[in-house]
Chains A and B, each alone.
Chain A
Amino acid sequence: NAGVTQTPKFRVLKTGQSMTLLCAQDMNHEYMYWYRQDPGMGLRLIHYSVGEGTTAKGEVPDGYNVSRLKKQNFLLGLESAAPSQTSVYFCASSPGLAGDFYEQYFGPGTRLTVT
């Protein structure tokens, strides 16, 4: 099993450009998440999904959109990139609620720089 994979690993965008980050998991997990990690701050939840066809906003959703058309994939889109979106983006999946002590499995991350 590959676990959670993310594409691409690195990307440099110019302000105003758009891109889509792809997350895929092969563990048949219902729940999937997108986080961003910035220096000196904890991971912050952008959007999450509790199942195929569902999405919900997290703590910092502005400037991002997501889709979960297939259970195994969770896409994060940036419609018009801004320098404030320079960050490391992590995707995660879990078989159940974190509140019920289910582990989150993270992908290797995407390092995005917006100039």
Chain B
Amino acid sequence: RKEVEQDPGPFNVPEGATVAFNCTYSNSASQSFFWYRQDCRKEPKLLMSVYSSGNEDGRFTAQLNRASQYISLLIRDSKLSDSATYLCVVILYGNKLVFGAGTILRVKS
């Protein structure tokens, strides 16, 4: 079983739609979580951290479910510019990061 698993997609949604991705992790000792965004042929950039209490930033909401060992990302009112690959990142401790392979989102007009 992979340490971090994501549905590769692609998720094809119309502008204005709400879309949600999940990311499951296998190690219950994982301590920190992030969502990064990666545009085509570009470097990853931090989208948001995922705290135990959740995190909301404008149209984006991230949640952590420790009991079921997954994190989620909800995007409301999707924009064309949201089209990208969304990477789930799980930190076991210190600097041991594990990246998911990413979920592709395509927002269409």
Q: For residue B89, which residues in chain A have a CB less than 8 angstroms away from its CB?
A: 98
In the complex, whether B46 has a CB less than 8 A from a CB of chain A is: yes
In the complex, whether A106 has a CB less than 8 A from a CB of chain B is: yes
Q: For residue A101, which residues in chain B have a CB less than 8 angstroms away from its CB?
A: 32, 34, 49, 51
Q: For residue B91, which residues in chain A have a CB less than 8 angstroms away from its CB?
A: 98-99
Whether B101 pairs with A42 at a CB distance below 8 angstroms is yes
Which A1-54 residues have a C-beta within 8 angstroms of B?
31, 33, 35, 40-45, 48, 50
Whether A43 pairs with B44 at a CB distance below 8 angstroms is yes
Q: How large is the interface on A (under 10, 10 to 19, 20 to 34, 35 or more residues)?
A: 20 to 34
- Total B residues in contact with A, Cβ cutoff 8 Å: 27
Nearest chain B CB to A62's CB is how many angstroms away?
A: 18
Nearest chain B CB to A5's CB is how many angstroms away?
A: 11
Give A41 to B51 CA distance when docked, in angstroms. Answer: 25
Nearest chain A CB to B93's CB is how many angstroms away?
A: 6
Chain A positions 89 through 115: 1 when the CB is less than 8 Å from some CB of chain B, otherwise 0: 010000001111101101111000000
Given that A40-B8, A98-B91, A99-B31 are known contacts, is A106 also in contact with B43, CB under 8 Å in the complex? yes
Whether A42 pairs with B42 at a CB distance below 8 angstroms is no
| Contact pick for B98, options A42, A97, A108, CB 8 Å | A42
Beyond A42-B101, A43-B99, A108-B43, 7 additional pairs, beta carbon < 8 A: A35-B99, A40-B101, A41-B101, A43-B44, A100-B32, A101-B49, A108-B42
State the A residues within 8 Å of B (CB).
31, 33, 35, 40-45, 48, 50, 90, 97-101, 103-104, 106-109
